[in-house]
Structure 1
Amino acid sequence: MQQYEFHTPLPTSTRPWQSLEPGIDELILNHDPTTGRRTTLQRWQPGARNAATSLHDYFEEVILLEGDLRVVPGKGTAEGQPGETEVWGKGAYAFRRPGMVHGPFASEAGCLMFISCTWGEKG
């Protein structure tokens, strides 16, 4: 990962917002190509929802900086996943181990999340 002093993480030609799904964009703040570790901002437009449940091979930490996020009604399948009517707001935090099924999610008002992804041992 590159070392940065405080700065405004504005998109640039080498670091643009990238579309992940309709209404869902990501800005890579930092990335280590050797380890795969990365930190990102993820921005969801009002009414955005992702298409399917997610499962990945890395640790993921997410903090909701603004807006709202909820499980898509009738679609959430993760074991132990909170109720589908629960709405998370600013300050909500998630820690996911490799292999944890989660989502799909939707955002009524839109949201902004900080996400950290780290590869390592399961545990």
Structure 2
Amino acid sequence: MAKPEFEFFPVTDVEWTVCPGDNPLITERILSKDPEGGVATRILRYQPGADSSAMGVQIHDFWEEVYILEGSFLDLTLNKTFTAGEYACRPPGMPHGPWRTDEGVVTFEARYRSVE
């Protein structure tokens, strides 16, 4: 199955929900999701002071593209801060995070599986 078809709609109509890991400072708006493949397009928000250390380093079995819309966060493994306007393309198996932010950060993320 694939993500459903949507025409333009206000993103603000989608509620913020707490992400897996249950940290109330880390929330997401799921814009589109493939229920069978488990991949989604979302807006991710870390409130000021959020820290995902409890979730550890993340490794996915899908592609993930991330664009930072506003704010910044620190990759605790790389000890490097990434800021608004920066982009990442992560192939399956690429380790990343955990993250911490003092000011907060909002990202746009597209996740998908390769079609071979």
- Fold match, TM over 0.5? yes
Query: Secondary structure of 2:11's partner?
Result: coil
CA-based RMSD of the aligned residues comes to 2.0
Query: Structure 1 stretches (4+) deviating beyond 3 angstroms?
Result: 34-37
**1 or 2, which has the higher helix percentage?**
2
CA distance in 2, matches of 1:117, 1:98: 10
Q: TM-score under structure 2 normalisation?
A: 0.82
Is 1:69 the counterpart of 2:63? The answer is no
TM-superposed CA distance for 1:121, in Å, is 6.2
- Which runs of 5 or more structure 1 residues have no equivalent in the other structure? none
- Which runs of 5 or more structure 2 residues have no equivalent in the other structure? none
Matches within 5 A, 1:1-80: 1-12=3-14, 16-20=15-19, 21-22=22-23, 23-51=25-53, 52-72=56-76, 76=77
Q: Give the number of the structure whose alpha-carbon radius of gyration is greater.
A: 1
TM-superposed CA distance for 1:5, in Å, is 3.0
CA distance in 2, matches of 1:71, 1:36: 24
Q: TM-score under structure 1 normalisation?
A: 0.78
- Aligned length, in residue pairs: 109
